[in-house]
Amino acid sequence: MSRIFSGIQPSGELHIGNYLGAVRNWVALQAHYESFFCVVDYHAIIAAYAPEDLRRRTREMAISLLAAGIDPAHCTLFVQSRVPEHTELQWIFNTITPLGELERQVAFKEKSARQEQVMAGLLNYPVLQAADILLYHADRVPVGEDQVQHLELSRVIARNWNSRFAPEGDPYFPEPKPELTPTRRIVGLDGNAKMSKSLGNTIALLETPDEIWAKLRPAVTDPARVKKTDPGNPDNCPVIFGLHKAFSPAATIAEVETNCRAAGWGCVDCKKSLLEHMNAELTPIRTRAQALTEQPSLVDAALDAGAEKARAVAQQTLRHVKARMGLD
Residue positions annotated with a catalytic role: 111, 194, 197
Minimum distance of ligand TYM from residue 87's CB (angstroms): 12
Q: Residue 77: which of 319, 290, 300, 296 has the closest Cα? A: 300
CB of 243 to ligand TYM, least distance (A): 11
**Is 8 an interacting residue with respect to ligand TYM (CB under 6 A)?**
yes
Q: Residues 6 or more apart from 157 whose CB is under 8 A from it? A: 93, 96, 97, 127, 130, 134
At closest approach, how far in Å is the CB of 295 from ligand TYM? 25
For position 143 contacting ligand TYM by CB under 6 A, the verdict is: yes
Among the residue ranges 141-149, 244-252, 305-313, 320-328, the one whose residues contact ligand TYM (CB under 6 A): 141-149
3-class SS of residue 39 = strand
Say which residues have a Cβ less than 8 Å from residue 9's Cβ, sequence separation at least 6: 39, 40, 41, 43, 44
40 near ligand TYM (CB under 6 A): yes
Q: Among residues 3, 4, 5, 222, which is the contact residue for ligand TYM, using CB under 6 A?
A: 5
Among residues 72, 144, 238, 306, which is the contact residue for ligand TYM, using CB under 6 A?
144
3-state secondary structure of 10: coil
112-131 footprint of ligand TYM as x/- string (CB under 6 A): -----------------x--
* Closer residue to ligand TYM (CB): 139 or 222: 139
Nearer to ligand TYM, 159 or 185 (CB): 185
Q: Are 197 and 15 in contact (CB under 8 A)?
A: yes
Nearer to ligand TYM by Cβ, of 21 and 174: the residue is 21
Select from 39, 46, 89, 133 the one that contacts ligand TYM (CB under 6 A): 133
Q: What angle do CA 21, 41, 97 make, to 5 degrees?
A: 80
CA triple 46-50-55, angle to 5 deg:
90
Environment class of 120 (CB within 10 Å of its CB; exposed 0-12, middle 13-18, buried 19+): exposed
The span of 183-191, 216-224, 241-249, 305-313 binding ligand TYM (CB under 6 A) equals 183-191
106: left (phi over 0), alpha (psi -120 to 50) or beta: alpha
